[in-house]
Structures are given as C-alpha cells and as structure tokens.
A and B are shown apart, each in its own frame.
Chain A
Amino acid sequence: MPRNYDVLIIGSGAGGGMAAWVLARGGARCLMLDAGPAFDYDRQRVLKAVYDLPYRGFGRPGRFPHVTQASEFNANIWADEKQNPYTYDPGDPYYWVRIRAIGGKTLLWGRQSWRLSDYEFKCREHDGFGENWPIRYSDLAPYYDRVEPMFKVSGRKEGLPQLPDGIYVPDESRDSGCVQRFAAACAKRNIPVTKMRRATGTLASSANVLLPAALESGNLTLTPNAVVREITIDRNTGLANGALFLDRRSKREYHAKAGIVVVAASCIESTRLLLNSKSRQFPDGLGNSSGVLGHYLFDQFYVKSGVLAVVPEARGGKGGRGLMGGGGYVPRFRNLDRREKGFLRGYAYDFGSGFTPAAKYFPAYGEELQKQLDGAAGAGFSITTMGEVLPRRENFVRIDPDVKDEWGIPAANIRQKYSDNEHAMARDAMETGIALCRDAGFEVIASHTQMAPPGESIHELGTCRMGDNPKTSVLNAHNQSHDVKNLFVTDGSSFVSGGAQNPTLTILALSMRAGEYILEQKKKGLL
C-alpha cells in the first residue's frame, strides 16, 4: 500500500529540525529523511585518554584534509570525504565541513546566537551593494523571540541597532580584569563590546531540543540513513511529489511521497540536490528557472587568533580568576553611519582570555621554551575576526558530472574566492585589534591577516537565495520556491547576505516562519 505524507523534510539539523517541530506539532504528517545515522550518546561515546588513541590525538594522517575541526576523538562524527567527495579548483581550495547524522551540525555547533539586523536584511538600501532580502528585521523578530528561549540563549542586552537584542537568560557575570581593560580600550574608540550570546543547556541541538517534541506529536516519522538522490515531480502538475532515496548501508532505493517538500540538507547539499533533480520541466535543476540556483555562495571569513597577546600582569602564573578568563564579542562597528576604511560592510571580533599560548608562538626550544611557556601560562588573550563576505555571482556550487559519491550521486563542484573587499577588511581588523590590545596594556606577541580557506567557518550561505524577483532569486519571502509552490528550502542556502553573525539562530527563525506559513497555507487550501 503506497504511503503518502503531508510533508517530506530532507535534513534534520537546524532548518529541518525546526520545520519538523512546527509542522508535526501543527498536525501535518511528516517524514524526515537524513543521510546519516542517529547517534546514541550512551553507547557510541566512551571516555578515553589521548594516549590510548592509536595516533595519540594526531588523528590518522590524511583522513580529513579539509576539516580542521576534526580531532581523533570526534573523527567518526564528520562526513567521510572519500564516501562524500566534492571538487574545486586546486588553486582555490574549499573546505567543506559536514556532519551526516540526525541533528546535523547542531550536534557540534559553537552555539553563538546572534540576530541579523536591517544592516543585513536591507543591505542594498544601506550601501548599494548586492540585493536586499525580501523581508525586514521586523518580519523575523517575532520568530527570533520564540527561538531564543527554546535554546536558552544567554546574553546581555545592549540596544545596538546592528545587533538587535533578544530574549535572553540574563548573563550578569562579572567580567575579568583583562576583559574590562579591553572593553575600556574599545569604548575610547566608540567600539561596542557585549557578552557572548550562546545557546545553553545540554547539547542544545536539533536532536534534543526540536526532534523529541516533534516525535512526541505522533506526526513525525524519522528515518535516518536515507541518502536522498533526487526530488521527484508530478509531470502533470509540475509540483514536487516526493524524493528518491537510498538506504545508506544497503543502497536499496525507495520513493518517499509527500504533498509538500521541505529541503534543509545544509546549504551546499540542498543546492546540490536541487541541481541534481533535473526534469523536462526543469532541465537546469529544480526551481531554477532564474538560473540563479547555485550562485552567490558566501560565508564569513575567519582570521583565527589574528591578534594574540599576553597580559603582562598575569605572567608567571599571577593571573588568577579576577584578572584572567572569559571573553566577549565586538559586533560590527565599521561602515554603519558613514563609509570608512575603503571597504564595504564590516567584521566582528570574538575574543577570549586565560589560556596559555601554543608553543609555536615562542621563538625558542628546550628549557628556554618551557620557561617562556611557564611565564605566559594562563596569560593569553586572543582575537578572532569574523568578517562579512560579499555575495557574488561568480562564487558558486554546480554539479561535477565526472565525480560521484558512494551512492552514485553526482558530486558538488565548489568555487569561492575572497575578494579585495574581504582582504581589506582583514587588514583593518588586524591593525585595529593590535591597537586595542596595546591600548589595554597587553603585549602583542603575534598577529596576521591570513583568512581560513572559504568554507572553513562552516557558515556556508547563499546559492538558493530568497528575493521578491523570480528572475534574480530562487525562493520568495517565505522560503518557498518561485517555480514550484510546494517546495521550500529552509537552511542557510536561502540567505541573501549574512553579516558577520553566526547564522544558526537565523536559520532556526526562518524555518519556524516558513513552517507556520506552510500550515497557514494548508489550512486555506492553498497548498
């Protein structure tokens, strides 16, 4: 007997998990497919000492050439690059970091939870570059208001227009002495500083915050190990009617049927799936009448520990909790009220303190090195820059017909290069960071402007962007395909611009909004 669902949801991370949370609890019968397994935290994790690992924590050489976040402890979580290949121009490597498992990347996310503002949603209105989103901040604010309490986001309200406040578990902790000194140095230059805004609580993942409630509704069927190959369409209506998928282990093929399809497989995977879903009606990929699908790939560039300093008063183990420890966040402060510094948009800093700088930063070896390390123990202060990357058509995802994954599905070919704008921003970030540290009385021991390769921030965005104009965008203001009205994409691929803020909170809010729109439209009989 054929099985039909109201909604097929592809992907179980932030976008898919939130779609399931809204739709299943709203009465829609949902099937969720995810390419990976469901982790059992009791049975798949064991406490081990690093010396008991086969490679003493170095990891098997060459296993993850593009996943700098992988350690020997968590190596089995990340998507295997041999099973899941992708290609790029060797001169412009792209670091595609993936988790294929129930919960997706929310299993290991950094939990930073920042709202976007109209500096992002209406970026073109502000500086003339790129496209505006088809929504304003006020459209998404009510959803942010609901997502933050679900994920118990802690933070401090600041009243900054470029970083709207949310509904927080108040963070009233006292800043350490070095953080206060850094904040004072920032204040002298009219640069704002705030507490981290982080999801708190155990795991804080789709796997424990969203999916259990969706399953409890009785309306969600959750199927792991389902590698989706293609979204299928009804030739008569042109509407999506399900998806073909393969069992990850047996490779047996199935057809999941549904009246509505929500794609949230993560930015590049979603676009790859749509591009691979070709038909007579959509020869260039599903929902791609505009030709925009796959284009405008961007992320946020990272300059990791771009400024590294030592707090002199903390040398020799004299730091202590009052002086050292903790960190904070400096939101974008460039190009807000006036054009400055010869680049568009801006960057944010994430800073931390109280660690011992790595040995590589000290020009010594042997006993002298140990002496220097002991002297700087717990006295480190570092700044990482996260910069806005301008969405450009020439940065794209397309299908590489010559390379297929283990399930015979054509792989993604990815092309992203940072432009002069991002490089100029990175230089300014380093120079300003050095000046701030020196103003705070810190000794700068290293600095650089070298950005991590594109993709490495795991904030890949765009390629299936929203917009009011069907000729220049793939999705409308409700994450709904302009071409196929029962097709929705609710992950980072729908972003039009991204600012410097970590994107997960916005993905959750967008997916919640899209899910409620689907329920509303269904109720009206329009879907």
Chain B
Amino acid sequence: MAALPALPAIPASAQYSGSQSSSSEIPKLQETAPDAAADGVPRCFSAVQMATLAKLADTIAPKLGERPGALEAGVPEFLDFLVGASGTERQTLYRNGLDRLNNEARTRFGKSFAALGPEETKPLLAPLTQAWTYGGPRDPYARFLSDARDDIIQATASSREYARVMSRRSRSAGGMNFYWLPLD
C-alpha cells in the first residue's frame, strides 16, 4: 500500500516567516530581571552564617580597583538562594563550614569571623593555600572552603555588576550566549 503524501502540519501560507511584519509592529517592552528589581529574601542561612559568608566572600573576592568584588556582586545573597535550592549535602557542607569558621574565630580570637582583621583570617583560610588536587580536598572543612571559593568567584564573575564594569574591558565579560527556551 502506497504511503500517503506527507503534508505539512500548517499550510504554507500560514507558516512562520522571519520577514512577517505583523510582530514587528508590536513594541518590545524593556524588562528587568527580578534580582535587578528587588532584594532576594534569605531562606537558607542564619543571620550569623550570612555575616560569616559575607566576610568570607569579601576576603576571597574583594573589590580590586574598578573590578567589582563579591559584595558588590551580591554574592552572599545569591549563594543563600543557590545553596538553599541545592540538595542537603551541599547545604550541610556550607552550614557546617560557616559555623566552623565562626567557632574557630571565637576560639582563637574571641570574636566572630565577620569581625576579624585581614591577618586574623589567614590561619583559618590556610587550606586554600594548599596545592590543587583532583576532586578537591576530602576534609569537610577544607572541602567547604574550596567549594565556596569556586562558587564565590563564579558568582562574582556571572553577576550583573561585574558585567556592567568589566564589559568595558572585555567582550566576554557579559557572558552572552544562546539560551534554549523550554520545549513543549
């Protein structure tokens, strides 16, 4: 039995054409993403953990000249969201790591990690000066610092603030790419 000829699902006359003029008459509205319009609501870390994370982020990725740092990039607030959206393993790693940092600071210096001076943070962040190994450190505290460092650096570089300043220097700083829309 011969197959029926295949027909296009939509008549040719009604098919999409990039040159159709009707859609171009509808103005493209300027949009603002939520994180450029409002502040995120913290949902993962406690106030003390957030203060510790902010200090850690600022120490790892400080503002250097015109290059925005993690605080300008809103990294602590973003990581609160990202870690909160992650599985329990990552949440536990971060919470325990932040608590450990703060406890170590109190034990060694009698104050919170957030209140430490630059020299005082050094012994607590010593694992970050260890040579790279594949897969990262096994010790949970060193692992936390290593993961947090990577996350803080990436979140800083992928921020709106970083792109705004650094795209004046490099075309790639804005991180532009094709985004694939969800499929039906």
Q: Which residues of A contact B (CB under 8 A)?
A: 1-5, 29, 31, 37, 39, 42-53, 55-58, 60-62, 71-77, 221-222, 249, 359-367, 369-370, 445-446, 448, 450
Bound-state CA distance A53–B178 (Å) is 11
Bound-state CA distance A421–B134 (Å) is 21
> 13 other contacts beyond A45-B180, A48-B178, A365-B59, with CB at 8 A cut-off?
A1-B1, A1-B4, A29-B2, A43-B16, A48-B176, A56-B82, A60-B85, A75-B180, A76-B181, A359-B149, A362-B132, A445-B132, A446-B132
CB contacts (< 8 Å) of B155 on chain A: these are 56, 58
Decide if B181 touches A45 in the complex (CB within 8 Å).
yes
Decide if A77 touches B180 in the complex (CB within 8 Å).
yes
The B122-161 residues at the A interface (CB cut-off 8 A) are: 125, 128-136, 146, 149-151, 153-155, 158-160
Bound-state CA distance A366–B60 (Å) is 4
CB contacts (< 8 Å) of B159 on chain A: these are 51, 56
Choice from B2, B174, B184 contacting A37 with Cβ under 8 Å: B184
Choice from A62, A73, A221 contacting B179 with Cβ under 8 Å: A73
Decide if A360 touches B132 in the complex (CB within 8 Å).
yes
CB distance from A165 to the nearest CB of B (A): 35
Residue of B nearest to A75 (CB): B180
CB distance from B168 to the nearest CB of A (A): 15
Choice from A49, A58, A73, A363 contacting B154 with Cβ under 8 Å: A58
Interface: B29 (CB within 8 A): no
- 14 A-B Cβ contacts within 8 A? A1-B1, A3-B4, A4-B1, A50-B175, A50-B177, A51-B158, A51-B175, A56-B78, A58-B158, A61-B87, A74-B180, A76-B180, A363-B131, A363-B132
Bound-state CA distance A246–B58 (Å) is 54
Interface: B30 (CB within 8 A): no
- Of all A-B residue pairs in the complex, the 5 with the closest CB atoms, nearest first, are A50-B175, A448-B134, A61-B86, A48-B179, A51-B160
Residue of B nearest to A48 (CB): B179
Interface string of B164-184 (1 = CB under 8 A from A): 000000000011111111111
CB contacts (< 8 Å) of A42 on chain B: these are 16, 18
CB contacts (< 8 Å) of A46 on chain B: these are 178-179, 181
Q: Given contacts A1-B1, A56-B158, is CB(A44)–CB(B62) below 8 Å?
A: no
Interface: B37 (CB within 8 A): no
Residue of A nearest to B31 (CB): A52
Bound-state CA distance A359–B154 (Å) is 9
Bound-state CA distance A367–B4 (Å) is 70
Residue of B nearest to A78 (CB): B180
Decide if A50 touches B174 in the complex (CB within 8 Å).
yes
Bound-state CA distance A42–B82 (Å) is 31
Decide if B149 touches A365 in the complex (CB within 8 Å).
yes
